[in-house]
Amino acid sequence: MLGGSAAAFEALYDRRQGGLYRYALRMTGSEAIAEDVTQDVFLELMRDGRLYDPARGSLKSYLYGMARHRVLRRLERERSHVSIDDEEDGGAPRTDGRLRSDEDPFADLAREETVSLVRQAVLSLPPHFREVIVLCHLQEMNYADAAEVVACPVGTVRSRLARARTMLVEKLRALKGPSLGGRAVKAEQAI
Amino acid sequence: MNCRDFNNVVNELADGRLMEAAAREAGLGHASECVDCAAQLMDARGTSAALHIAARADVEEAPARVKETLLNAFAERLRESMEQPAPVAERPPVVVELPARRALRRWDAATVAAAAAVLLILGSAYLLRESRRASQPSQMEAALPAPAVSPENVVGPETPDKNKGASVPTIPQDASTNAAANPPIKRTTPLAHKAPRVENVAAKLKSETAARNSAGSMRKGAGSNGGEYLPLTYLAGATAMESGTVVRVEMSRAALISLGVPLSAERTDETFKADVVIGDDGVARAIRLVGND
């Protein structure tokens, strides 16, 4: 890609854009910001890609690190916009049609409700706890990769994650009541 | 395992992550005995399941316009890079050998400084020499026409007569003779009666031109007390003579002519009395005719 191959650049974009976009979307709750962040990350890679040092980490972590930097900056600047976007969406996150099952509409409703509750709860977490939930659970990164992105030791990721999980339970319980565990389990069984 | 230890592993237990079998068994055993930890494990499992559902539902991608924009930007950047001239690193260096240039600058500065110092020294020496030259004629003029010690006093009983026989020379001879070229001088006074030292007499007396101009006055003044002194030597650097001795001598006309005294070439065997100024170095510096017998 650095050698000027458009095909290589396109392949890299196709491979990494989804994760970066979703990371920014879950962190900010804004599709516009997620779109800007994704575009900015690849523009910077195009411009200053030679700054990437493979010895310091994987390209995936490098891209997520750039995305994280932009996300945190946007959160500081446009924190109020997050809630506005949520209000515009009516607090109902979009779900993929592939998750819907025509056989059990009640199960679909349970899944959509669960997904919506989780996304709302994640967005309500402080950014540093939010990002470990997004990276380790929603992006399904291992602790080591998440530690590279967040630029902190693995132990810090682990402790933050434990704290974030505790906070997330409280948030979900506050949003939906004490029956969260059973509802989520039923929804997962329906999948 | 107690509740605190269970709290450290509850998420791993709920997520089903890889962990040591012993720790897993201990945790599950504690949850089966502790109601609170069992409820905590159930909440953790519910949260893990909810997060898993949310992760499975997380399938959004960036809009297609983002990719289009980026690909266009990449193509534009690639086109610009191909249109640009060669990178700076590949261009021939415009400035080379900067250290040498710096050294040259330092050398130039040192050279200029040295040249300035030399010029300053030469200039000072020149000014000092000029100032000495400017002060010497006055000393000479003050000393020669009226010496501190009169030659008559030096000679003592011998009184010079009027220089009647001395004819007026028409063309003065070259007076630039040195001590080695001087002919032997016949002393008319013994050395024991050497005259007292003449202090502050200029060594550089007068030039040949001055001697020529003073030929007439020399002849005229040579009647009794003598005329002006005629310089005999032009020693380089001997611009000052702090002291000297005036000695009256008797010399033949030919000898006087050879010393530059402006006399005619007639009767070359005829003798004249003259006063000779001799410096401390023994070199005759000037001569004047005195009244001839």
B42 lies within 8 A of chain A by CB? yes
Which tokens sit at A114? 């669960």
**Among B46, B69, B75, beta carbon nearest to A182:** B46
Is B219:B227 a contact under the CB 8 Å cutoff? yes
CA gap A72, A86 in Å, rounded: 18
Which tokens sit at B215? 């030929």
Over residues A160-190, the pLDDT tens digits come to: 999 999 999 888 888 876 555 555 555 555 5
Residue type, position B145, single letter: P
CB distance B60–A94 less than 8 Å?
Answer: yes
At residue A175, the pLDDT reads 81
CA gap B227, B168 in Å, rounded: 13
CA gap A160, B5 in Å, rounded: 17
**Among A21, A139, A181, beta carbon nearest to B60:** A21
CA gap B156, B213 in Å, rounded: 30
**Rounded to two decimals, what is the model's pTM?**
0.50
Is A60:A145 a contact under the CB 8 Å cutoff? yes
Task: Report the DSSP beta bridge partners of residue B279.
Answer: B244
B178 lies within 8 A of chain A by CB? no
CA gap B5, B19 in Å, rounded: 14
Q: Is the pLDDT of residue B69 over 50?
A: yes
At residue B184, the pLDDT reads 46
CB distance A6–B78 less than 8 Å?
Answer: yes
DSSP character at residue B181: T
Collapsing DSSP to helix, strand or coil, A157 comes out as: helix
At residue A70, the pLDDT reads 93
Determine the residue among A2, A5, A14, A17 to mutate to test chain B binding: the one whose Cβ has the most chain B Cβ atoms within 10 Å.
Answer: A17
CA distances from B26 to A130, A163, B20, B21, B43 (A): 30, 22, 10, 9, 19
Q: Is the pLDDT of residue B19 over 90?
A: no
Q: Is the pLDDT of residue B57 over 90?
A: no
DSSP character at residue B88: G
CA gap B117, A5 in Å, rounded: 67
Over residues A79-109, the pLDDT tens digits come to: 655 444 444 444 444 444 444 444 555 666 6
CA gap B243, B124 in Å, rounded: 28
Neighbours of B19 (CB within 10 A): 13
At residue A167, the pLDDT reads 92
Cα B255 to its chain centre, rounded Å, is 51
The C-alpha torsion from A130 through A132 and A136 to A142, rounded to 10°, is 170
At residue A124, the pLDDT reads 92
At residue A33, the pLDDT reads 92
Q: Is the pLDDT of residue B152 over 60?
A: no
In terms of CA atoms, which chain A residue is nearest residue B80?
A4
Chain A residues whose CB is inside 8 A of the B66 CB are 17, 35, 38-39
B172: closest CA among B213, B204, B126, B121?
B213
Query: Range with the lowest mean pLDDT among B98-102, B129-133, B230-234, B254-258?
Result: B98-102
Residue type, position B15, single letter: D
**Among A10, A21, A188, beta carbon nearest to B53:** A188
Neighbours of B81 (CB within 10 A): 10
DSSP character at residue B289: E
H or E stretch at B95: none
**Among A21, A98, A184, beta carbon nearest to B53:** A184
Token pair 């650097």 is at which residue? B237
CA gap B132, B139 in Å, rounded: 11
Which tokens sit at A9? 């650049």
Neighbours of B290 (CB within 10 A): 28
DSSP character at residue B223: T
Over residues A17-50, the pLDDT tens digits come to: 999 999 999 999 999 999 999 999 999 998 888 8
Q: Categorize the per-residue pLDDT at B205 as very low, low, confident or very high, splitting at 50, 70 and 90.
A: very low
CA gap A16, B177 in Å, rounded: 110
Q: Assign 3-state DSSP to chain B and report helix, strand, coil percentages, each to 5.
A: 50, 10, 40
Percent over 70 (pLDDT), chain B: 56
Residue A188 CB burial class (10 angstroms; 0-12, 13-18, ≥19): buried
At residue A149, the pLDDT reads 92
Long-range CB contact pairs, A171-176, < 8 A, 24+: A171/A120, A171/A121, A171/A124, A171/A125, A172/A117, A172/A118, A172/A121, A172/B46, A172/B47, A172/B50, A173/B43, A175/A117, A175/A120, A175/A121, A176/A113, A176/A117
Which sign does the torsion angle of CA B116, B118, B123, B124 carry?
positive
Over residues B100-122, mean pLDDT? 72
